[in-house]
Amino acid sequence: MNSRPKRITRNSLLGEQGIALIHQRVLEMGYLWYPTGAVEAGIDGLIELRDPTTGAVRNSIVQVQSKATESAFDGETEHGFFFVCDERDLDYWLNGNAPVILVRSRPKTQEAYWVSIKDYFSDPVIRKSRKIVFDKAKSKFDKFAQQVIWDLAIPRDSGVFRPPLPKTELLHSSLLPVVKFADKLFVAETEYRLPSQIWAEFKRLDVRAGGEWFLQDGRILSFQPLDEFPFSKICDNGTIETFDTSEWASSDSPDRHREFVRLLNRCLSAKLFAIGVKFDRGYNHYYFRATDDLSTRKVRYISLRNRQTRREVFKGYASKITPDRISYYRHSAFEGQFLRFDESWFLQITPTYRFTWNGHHISGSAAERLKGIKRLERNGAVLGQLVMWAAMLNTAPDLFGDYLFLHFGVLQPFRFDYGIEDSQWLPKEEPDEAANLADTEELLS
């Protein structure tokens, strides 16, 4: 099968011609030209000053943005023309302390005109208009502009900073919205004083009961109906009250706030237990249980690209000294906290890891291993874990179908007009991490 040949668009060729013309004129001035390349946004190259007499390089720069055309300039007359800047470009040019010049050119006629952006838009009225009026006689970009370019350059001792690139970036918060919880909340008195006594009674009755309840000061608060079996067997039925859950969810009472969060945590534990995730009260985190044979466990979920992917959530790692012996097991985990903002509830997910020596008991070096992985882990890896946990919580059923007491939405994205161009520093990362980060960059773009 014939492959489609690579094509270079007419606009791309025109852009290169404009930059080539700038390069030629900069050399005629006796200065140095450094193109920034395709990864740069808003700046096409840098002029570095060089003393034409001594040849000494001055370590001072002027940033250049090229705008080339092959047709007439906007509003062109014999004496001039105008150009309207893009708002985001203009913000970018004005936000650093390095001087920026805009060069408007027509390569086919070898014409090039320039303006100092910061000087031209120092007037707020002109800044608001975003419009540059070029005087052809006064703004030619040729060797005679050498001295003015020199005067623009930043003194050596003032330092240079450049603003964030005008690159749209999509960020995801660690807040997973709670979109549904139980409609009713039940309260009743009981003669039992310890949860273990209630669980023992359920065992005696040979019945399975949900864990969406807690015992406090002789009262049971529950999302499970207390007037139905088996809860009716452990309650004083004459004291059972039914409330709209919103009376707790929207309450400003600290006590009701704590009680509602406690019930949500019981629901979260029950929802996750069905997919092999347990809660460790001592470490205050949820973690994937070990497989029965201690083999690697992988889970499938829908990624941000809306396609099936998978992740290792339990895995053994061999000893570096004795390769045939497992040194430790790593479990994917997270710390979860329910928070209310205005009238909405969210689960804050903080990805972490659990380290065990046999799949069950915490490793003696767990703290050091966790500290080490947190130090090395980059945003892409953290985001991957966050997306995985959010996806699992969105789809996790109980053993009998859809879980009724707690539903989550999706991670909320926030779009920003500025971001970090990861491709500029990915080559400095380890290969595996660079691939992970590149993958994350692609799915967020």
Smallest CA-to-CA distance from 63 within 106, 117, 122, 16 is with 117
Query: 80 in helix, strand or coil?
Result: strand
pLDDT at 157 over 80: no
Structure tokens at 382: 């953290």
In whole angstroms, what is the distance from residue 408 CA to residue 346 CA?
Answer: 8
Q: Does residue 108 sit in the same domain as residue 179?
A: no
| Domain assignment present for 253 | yes
What is the residue type of 393? Answer: L
Asked if residue 232 belongs to a domain, the reply is: no
Are residues 42 and 131 both part of a single domain?
Answer: yes
Residues 113, 179, single domain; the answer is: no
Per-residue pLDDT tens digits for 283-318: 999 999 999 999 999 999 887 777 888 899 999 999
Let me know whether 396 and 344 are in one domain: yes
- Position with higher pLDDT, 11 vs 140: 140
189 located within any domain: no
363 and 266 within one domain: yes
- Residue 253 sits in the same domain as residue 344: yes
Q: Domain limits at 294?
A: 175-183+245-444
List, as own/partner pairs, every contact residues 81-86 make where C-beta atoms lie below 8 angstroms and the sequence separation is at least 24, other chains included. 81/133, 81/134, 81/136, 82/131, 82/132, 82/133, 82/134, 83/131, 83/132, 83/134, 84/130, 84/131, 84/132, 85/130, 85/131, 85/132, 86/130
Whether 162 and 292 map to the same domain: the answer is no
Among residues 110, 139, 166, the one where a domain terminates is 166
- Across 201-235, b (16+ Cβ under 10 Å) vs e yields eeeeeeeebeebbebeeeebbbbbebeeeebeebb
DSSP-derived secondary structure letter, 158? G
Give residue-wise pLDDT tens across range 191-232: 999 999 999 999 999 999 999 999 999 999 999 999 999 999
DSSP bridge pairs for 316: 329
**Tokens 């930043």 sit at which residue?**
154
User: Is there a single domain that holds both residue 103 and residue 179?
Assistant: no
Q: Is 385 found in the same domain as 265?
A: yes
Q: pTM, whole model, 2 decimals?
A: 0.60
Q: What pLDDT sits at residue 11?
A: 78
Domain boundary among 115, 133, 166: 166
- The answer to whether residue 16 is domain-embedded is yes
Give the residue from 166, 195, 217 where a domain finishes: 166
Residues 116 and 145 in one domain: yes
Kindly list the distances between the CA atom of residue 149 and the CA atoms of 18, 29, 66, in Å, as whole numbers in the listed order.
19, 9, 16
Query: Does residue 179 share a domain with residue 149?
Result: no
Number of domains in the chain: 2
